[in-house]
Structure 1
Amino acid sequence: MKPVLFAAAALAVIATAAMAAPKKPAAEPVAAKPSGPAAADWRTPDPNDVMVIDTNKGRVIVELVPEAAPLAVQRMRELAHEHFFDGLRFFRVIEGFMDQTGDPQNSGVGGSSKPNIPGEFMFKRAAATPFALVDDQQVVENGFIKSLPVSSQSMQLAAMTNDHTVKAWAYYCPGVAGLARDDDPDSNNSQFFLMRASHHNLEKRYTAFGRVIAGEDVVRAIKTGEPVEAPQDRMEQVRLLADMPEASRPKIRVIDPRSAWFKAEVARVKAANPNEFMCDVEIPAEVK
């Protein structure tokens, strides 16, 4: 089996972009954050869409977004139900890029016994999709589906498609969770990665199935290496929030991207960097 890393071409593009990318112009000063969110600005995520990853470095909480990648989310749910991920290591971790795990062989060549699933690099957005628009560029619309930053074709084009949908894709911002694969776009199985930084080169090329809503500091604390030298950091236990006993289940709430507070926060961040602000927008979460 080929190593389920990132396709060599993708890594080459990333490296080239890092060396050749022009320096961004200095951003405008960022205004003070709006006052604290009110009760109506928060939402409670579906416990079946929250993956709790307890590592030896701390806890990471990922919100799954089935609207963007239903097959990938279903696979993550199945494997978490089966305790497949428990004890698996972070075997490939690149500073300024991502943490890769989910391989029972801890090497990049393994996977679960389940069949591979096809890539879900883009998805269909309908009028009913819970998309919070924050930036309308006429041809392209940017917004959030739950905690996931998303770009899509303008919904004005939906009237011209047979199923009244448009194409959408996730931004690969810090915290976004994606499926690893080899050169075959349909080789997605159990290996996944958590982003340490933004890498737009992965967009429309790798399946994004969710985003870290708490514990991004843990993601960045995982030991780096390619491969990581022993001892490697590990996932000690991975569970869906819905599978955890009520007594030990963390209480989680996340800012609603449709809320008044979030709209004010987006406007504040966008004013400092109008052209590339989507990955600068943070979505606060509370875990108790």
Structure 2
Amino acid sequence: MRIAAALLALPLIAAAPVPDWRPLDPANALVIDTTKGRIVVEMRPDFAPKAVERVTLLAREGVYDGLLFHRVIDGFVDQTGNPNNKDGGTSSHPDLAPEFSFRLPAGALTPVRQASDGVEGFVGASPVAGVGAEEAKRSPDGKLRAWGAYCPGTAGMGRQADPGTSNSEIFFMRGPSRRLDRDYTVWGQVVQGLDVVRAMAVGEPPAAPDKMIRVRLAADLPAAEQPRLEILNENGPAFAALVAKTRKAHGADFSVCDVQVPVRPAP
């Protein structure tokens, strides 16, 4: 009893506050230098491991260097990544199986909007949607079935009519298009250069298409050349304040796509 009383008398140690900013991981960052400027994508191997593996492989092989943005629709999408610079082109590697949804461990998703039939939130800088709370409770492994939400800056894998035909084509969202959810593999989110994505010459194909000059994994660059960025931490108080402000501005029409995660140069 004396020991227990002594333990109760000890001062409680407060948990360390969650930082508002986190560094970009160079091992999961793709750097795309284009004719309109630089795009940096935070890749999500936890969403689509095979797609991230493929994009990384093609970047390291130099397949993406010099390829055109062959189909660009204003307000919708920039498509590139086909070696023939047309729809339907593929690399020398086999097609990939769909990775349209994934399972997240408890606490991995930071929710920003919850309803009886589903949840929307963020994993890192990526917007995500998932099943409702009651359905999640029935999950035998305790994980949440979720999928990437196609919001501005989302990076997806292109394909043909067959869902299992993703290969080398990649695309970047200029605006939201949630009809693509659970129909195209999400492999990352643009964290720098959304203005560049939206500046690409428009057309199917464009009359004077822009191109990817060089595509590299950030970790493969010399340390001095790696992008040094910090991303607003979705688990921190500043992010919660941003979501509250955005929700108030949009009211009942609020959506996960209304939240643009801030990024800044690392100090």
TM value normalised by structure 2: 0.88
| Counterpart position of 2:187 | 209
Given the alignment, which residue of 34, 47, 55 partners 1:76? 55
CA contact (8 A) 1:269 1:277 kept: no
Alpha-carbon distance between aligned partners in 2 of 1:57 and 1:86, rounded to the nearest angstrom: 14
Given the alignment, which residue of 255, 259, 262 partners 1:281? 259
Given the alignment, which residue of 142, 146, 150 partners 1:168? 146
Q: CA deviation at 1:154?
A: 3.2
Q: Structure 2: 5+ residue runs without aligned partners?
A: 1-16
| Counterpart position of 1:49 | 28
How do 1:31-180 residues align onto structure 2 when only pairs under 5 Å count?
A: 40-127=19-106, 130-180=108-158
Q: CA deviation at 1:162?
A: 2.8
For the residue of structure 1 that corresponds to 2:141, the secondary structure is: coil
Q: CA deviation at 1:67?
A: 1.8
Residues 114-160 of structure 1 deviation map (CA, whole Å, 9 limit, x = unaligned): 111111111112216x2112222243121101011111113553442
Q: Which amino acid aligns with 2:185?
A: T
CA contact (8 A) 1:90 1:233 kept: yes
CA contact (8 A) 1:126 1:166 kept: yes
For the residue of structure 2 that corresponds to 1:112, the secondary structure is: coil
Alpha-carbon distance between aligned partners in 1 of 2:18 and 2:71, rounded to the nearest angstrom: 40
Alpha-carbon distance between aligned partners in 1 of 2:154 and 2:40, rounded to the nearest angstrom: 11
Residues 1:264 and 2:264 are matched in the alignment: no
Residues 85-141 of structure 1 deviation map (CA, whole Å, 9 limit, x = unaligned): 11111011011110000011101121111111111111112216x211222224312
Q: Output the aligned Cα RMSD.
A: 1.7
Residues 1:251 and 2:228 are matched in the alignment: yes
Alpha-carbon distance between aligned partners in 1 of 2:157 and 2:245, rounded to the nearest angstrom: 32
Q: CA deviation at 1:247?
A: 1.8
TM value normalised by structure 1: 0.82
For the residue of structure 2 that corresponds to 1:272, the secondary structure is: helix
Q: CA deviation at 1:276?
A: 3.1
Q: Which amino acid aligns with 2:215?
A: V
Which is higher, the Rg of structure 1 or of structure 2?
2
| Counterpart position of 2:13 | none
CA contact (8 A) 1:90 1:100 kept: yes
CA contact (8 A) 1:127 1:155 kept: no
Q: CA deviation at 1:245?
A: 0.6
| Counterpart position of 1:183 | 161
Fraction of identical pairs, as percent: 41
Alpha-carbon distance between aligned partners in 1 of 2:186 and 2:215, rounded to the nearest angstrom: 19
| Counterpart position of 2:217 | 240
| Counterpart position of 2:11 | none
Q: Which amino acid aligns with 2:144?
A: V
For the residue of structure 2 that corresponds to 1:221, the secondary structure is: coil
Alpha-carbon distance between aligned partners in 2 of 1:287 and 1:56, rounded to the nearest angstrom: 22
| Counterpart position of 1:29 | none
| Counterpart position of 1:11 | none
Q: Which amino acid aligns with 2:263?
A: A
Q: Structure 1: 5+ residue runs without aligned partners?
A: 1-37
Alpha-carbon distance between aligned partners in 1 of 2:84 and 2:148, rounded to the nearest angstrom: 29
For the residue of structure 1 that corresponds to 2:161, the secondary structure is: coil
For the residue of structure 2 that corresponds to 1:40, the secondary structure is: coil
User: How many residue pairs end up in the alignment?
Assistant: 249
| Counterpart position of 1:12 | none
Q: CA, structure 1 residues 287+82, in 2 after alignment: closer, same or farther (shift >3 Å)?
A: farther
Q: CA deviation at 1:226?
A: 0.6
**Which consecutive aligned stretches of 4+ in structure 1 deviate over 3 angstroms post-superposition?**
154-159
